[in-house]
Structure 1
Amino acid sequence: MRWLPLIIASHRLPAPISDVPESPAPAAEQSAKPKPKRAVKPKAASESSETSTKRQTSSPTPKTQATSQRKFAGTWKGTLDGREWVIVVDANETQGSATGGPWGIERGPTRSNQNTISWSYVFNSWSLTVSPANRTAQVVVHYIGGTSSGTFEKIN
C-alpha cells in the first residue's frame, strides 16, 4: 500500500522537449506586416509607402553610425618584449585575441570601460587603451612572470 502513490505518480511524466526551428515564426510575422498597408486607401497607401520607405532608409543610418563608433574593433599591430604581436577585436567588440607569443592565440571575452577594452586568457590578462584619435593604443599584458607594454597601431 505504501508504494501505490509512487506508482501512480510515476505515470505522469512530462512530454519530451523537442527543438522547434525558429524560422517559421519570423516568416509568419513578416507576412502579417504587409497586410495592414494594403488595407489603406490607394492614395494614402502611396503616401504611407513613401513615409515607410523614408523610415526604412533612415533606420540603417543609426546602425552605420553605431558601427563607426566602435573604437576597439579591428586589427592592431605592435611589439611587446621584442616580439611582433597582432591583436584582433571582433566587430561587436565582444571577443579579443592576441597572437604572437608561445601560447598561440590568446582569446577571451572582452570587457570595456570608456577607452579601454580588456580580456583574459588562462593566466594572462590583456588591456588595450586607445588614443583620442583611435589610431594607436597602449597595450598592457599581465602574466605570471611580470608585465609587458607597448604601443600598437590600428591597421584596419
Structure 2
Amino acid sequence: MRSFLLTIFVLLISSTIAQADYTTKNVYKFENSDMIKNHDGSNIVNASGVGIAEDSNGNKSVLKCLVNISNGMLSGHCQSTDQDGDVEYTAISRDMSKGPQGTFTRTGGTGKYANTGVTCEYVVELTDFQVGVGYLTATCKE
C-alpha cells in the first residue's frame, strides 16, 4: 500500500511539473536601431523592439526589448505586460555565430510572474532586418 501511495504521489508531482512547461511564440518589430564599427571592423548595434507574444497557457502580452549586438553576441532585456496586467521581466542572450538559437530567462515580475523562475530556449524562425520584423518560437521550463 505504501508503494502504491508513493507511486501516486510521484505521478501527481510529475504531472504538475509537466504542466509548468509551456511554449510561446513572439512577433516583433525593430525600432530605433543604430550601428557603429568596432576597432576590429565588427559591428556594434543597439536597438529597441516591440512585439506581441502568446503562450500555450493562454497568456497574451505586449512586449518591449532593448538589445545590444557586439561581436556576434546578442544580449538585452525585455518587459512584457499580459492581458491581466501582470508584468514579466526577462534577460535575453544569443551567440549569433552559432545560429538562430538563444535563451531568455525570467528575472522578475508581478502577479503570476512574481517569485517564479523560467528559462526558455528560443529559435528565430524568420527575421528580415531590412523590413525590421521577426518571429520566434520558444520552449520554456519553470
TM over 0.5: no
Q: Which has the higher contact order (CA 8 A, sep 6+)?
A: 2
Q: With structure 1 as the length reference, what TM-score do the two structures score?
A: 0.40
Q: TM-score, normalised by structure 2?
A: 0.44
Larger proportion of helix = 1
